[in-house]
Structure 1
Amino acid sequence: MRAPQRVGRAGLPERVTIWEVGARDGLQNEGTVVPLAVKLEFLDRLAAAGLGVVEATSFVHPKWVPQLADADELLAAMTPRPGVRYPVLVPNERGLDRALAAGVRHIAIFASATETFARRNLNRSLDEQFAMFEPVVGRARAEGLTVRGYVSMCFGDPWEGEVAVDQVVAVGRRLVDMGCEQLSLGDTIGVGTPGHVQALIAAFRAAGVDLADLAVHFHDTYGQALANTLAALESGVTTVDASAGGLGGCPYARSATGNLATEDLVWMLDGLGVEHGVDLAALVATSVWMAERLGRPSPSRVVRALANADSAD
């Protein structure tokens, strides 16, 4: 079978936006630098497959993420497809300067829900991170850019253990008040479970954050990414982060394995009758192509299953 049988389920959104992070969150974790030409083709293939949001790169200092040191070159050489958004991760004001110079219209910042990860990832305390983000968000909004706020360690922290729901909500609420138009709630080490997901979303709603302003970002470390995604959809979330072929994790948390694979997400959405606009066959072909260039099989179960089915034919 190359597509699941469609059996709808009551209470789910009619359509979901897939926020593709493979070209940024995926490639930043590679042990070797992927050539610029490969990155450009990867971005174009992802957009051609129907993904309407394709995160392009990051302006994090090359010392910390050398795999994306070519961000300026990439954006200068990229040919955007009409109607596709290409957000860029921006860590600070210097990164924003580079984004504005490159003509970027959509940015994201990366915050932490825990003290330890804020210090390890941002070299700031939990509270000090907001002082770093405020001028970035303020200037970006004044320039007419859209701003997304990633919140990492929402469901657990490898150093601190459990993370209180109200602590996560407090961090997210401050980002919304600062001007972030969307929050992506990250299970950075993949320890979340469906009940936890629904409790966190309910807490954000109780704090006055609209469902339309929430997205989810799950890792599959403990095999929970799809179950957690379904729980989020049942709660009314309509934006889901995913990475083509399951690329990526988190370079600052060694226990974090790959992101939710976009193909696995698409297969589930197709089976549920939820629209998303992505051509699964084209996306699988893209991930097979990228896996060949990385020199290893794709971790996505759907990519492996469909690629094996094609080779059997």
Structure 2
Amino acid sequence: MAASDRVLSSTLSEPPASPHPITYQWLLPNSRGLDNFLKVMDDASPWATGYPTPPPSPQHESGPAPNPSTSAPDSTDAPPQAPASNSRNGHSHEVSIFLAATESFSKKNTNCTIQESLDRFAPLMAESRRRGFPVRAYISVALGCPFEGPDTDPHRVADLAVKLLEMGADEISVADTTGMGTAPATKQLLRTLKEAGVRNEDLAMHFHDTFGQALINTMVSLDHGIRAFDSAVGGLGGCPYSPGATGNVATEDLVYTLHSLGAKTGVALDEVSRIGGWITGEIGKGNGSGAGRATLSRLRREAGES
């Protein structure tokens, strides 16, 4: 996280070319992280020093100058308007926070209790929303904890989700950080969230594939009505406080599965497979996506490569 300000600055100054808008999520551990984030945003904004001096009122030979609010929308007489604060270069930015569903993981990961996490994030969420940045909240170890075992209480997860939504979270990402989650446990968790009043459209599911259950749990979630899922190209990821946990479900595998069901993802499997092959090679890690490896093999054959 120490280099996140440099990544943000680079993203703002040299945004990637994309035919579609990109939403960036910035994980902020505390209010200090938010302060750094807002400083970079303000420094990069043409509106950082306030509104520019408006042009002088047009001179008219007779009668008062026209009210700009009644002028044509493209009139040059209209005063400039500041852009939405979470939009830069056609792309948008969101704030992400994280807390845990078990006390043991919370203390290991953030050195505080669950309630202390909620208390810490309350002002951060309020300021983020005041500045126009949507907030996404992650609930870690929702389907199993490395310190308390695989039976995380689904009612505790639901209680946290409700509290976070009441605090102003725009979306809750329910994370199986350890990959311990199973189909029955996922089904029970989603049922408990629904009974607590949490809507499907307020949820995303975040599965790790440590035990090979990520796509199975995705199917359970789809049947429940969930339509937002986190993933990582090449199956990258993991957690230093969850020994043995592998990365997120691979984007390539998830896209291949969803396309097989007739879903429209807007993601080109060939292109995301190329990205997965490139980034895993750059950082020296094995490509954890079966669909990605198979797609790259096909692309090499089609190109006449060995």
Counterpart-to-counterpart distance in 2, 1:92 and 1:78: 27
- Higher RCO by CA contacts (8 Å cutoff, separation 6 or greater): 1
Deviation at 1:306, TM superposition (A): 1.6
| TM alignment of 1:48-63, pairs within 5 A | 60=1, 62=2
1:288 corresponds, among 263, 277, 290, to 277
Cα distance in 2 between the residues matched to 1:312 and 1:276: 26
* 1:159 partnered with 2:178: no
Which of the two has higher C-alpha Rg? 2
Give the structure 2 partner of residue 143 of structure 1: 131
Q: How does 1:165-180 map to 2 (within 5 A)?
A: 165-180=154-169
Aligned partner of 1:102 among 40, 49, 66: 40
Cα deviation 1:217-276 (Å, max 9, x = unaligned): 000000000000010011000100000111111122122111100000000011000111
**Could you state the TM-score of these two structures normalised by the residue count of structure 1?**
0.76
Instruction: Give the root-mean-square deviation of aligned CA atoms.
Output: 1.6
Task: Say whether the 8 Å CA contact 2:5–2:40 is kept in structure 1.
Answer: no
In the aligned structure 1, how far is the partner of 2:101 from the partner of 2:14? 33
Unaligned runs of 5+ in 2: 42-85, 87-92
Q: Distance in 1 between matches of 2:37 and 2:294?
A: 39
Letter in structure 2 aligned against 1:132: R
1:261 equivalent among 240, 250, 256? 250
- Residue 97 of structure 1 aligns with an amino acid whose one-letter code is D
Aligned partners of 2:286 and 2:207: how far apart in 1?
A: 21
Q: 195, 199, 207: which is aligned to 1:206? A: 195
How far 1:73 moved relative to its partner? 4.2
Moved more, 232-241 or 72-81: 72-81
* 2:45 alignment partner in structure 1: none
- Superposition deviation, residue 163 in structure 1: 0.9
Query: 2:12, 2:295 → 1: CA distance?
Result: 35
TM-score, normalised on structure 2?
A: 0.77
2:174 is equivalent to residue 185 of structure 1: yes
The answer as to whether partners of 1:72 and 1:98 remain within 8 angstroms in 2 is no
Rounded to whole Å, the distance in 2 between the matches of 1:78 and 1:246 is 27
Query: Using the alignment, how far apart are the partners of 1:125 and 1:117 within structure 2?
Result: 9
Tell me what 2:121 maps to.
133
CA contact (8 A) 1:75 1:102 kept: no
Q: Which residue of 1 aligns with 2:30?
A: 92
Amino acid at match of 2:125: V
**SS of corresponding position for 2:229:** strand
Structure 1 match to 2:220: 231
Partner of 2:172, secondary structure, is: strand
Residues 76 and 102, structure 1, Cα contact 8 Å, conserved in 2: no
Instruction: Quote the offset at 1:100 in angstroms.
Output: 1.7
Deviation at 1:201, TM superposition (A): 1.2
Aligned to 2:47: none
Partner of 1:71: 7
Q: Structure 1 regions of 5+ residues with no counterpart?
A: 1-59
8 Å Cα contact 2:270-2:296 kept in structure 1: no
Structure 2 Cα separation of the partners of residues 296 and 207 of structure 1 = 41
The amino acid of 1:173's aligned partner reads V
Asked whether the 8 Å contact 2:101–2:141 carries over to 1, the reply is: yes
Per the TM alignment, residue 69 of structure 1 is displaced from its structure 2 partner at its CA by 7.1
Q: Please give the per-residue CA displacement for 1:154-174, whole angstroms capped at 9, x wherever unaligned.
A: 001011112111111111211
Of all paired residues, the percent bearing the same amino acid is: 37
SS in 1 for 2:23: coil
Shift of 1:177: 1.0
1:275 and 1:76 map into 2 onto residues whose CA distance is 29
Answer yes or no: is the 8 Å Cα contact 2:256–2:291 preserved in 1.
yes
CA distance in 1, matches of 2:141, 2:123: 23
Q: 1: distance between equivalents of 2:193 and 2:14?
A: 37
Secondary structure at the counterpart of residue 121 of structure 1: helix
CA drift of 1:117 comes to 0.9
How big is the shift at 1:76?
4.2
One-letter code aligned to 1:118: S
TM-superposition CA deviations, 1:162-191 (whole Å, max 9, x none): 211111111121111111010000000001
SS in 2 for 1:248: coil
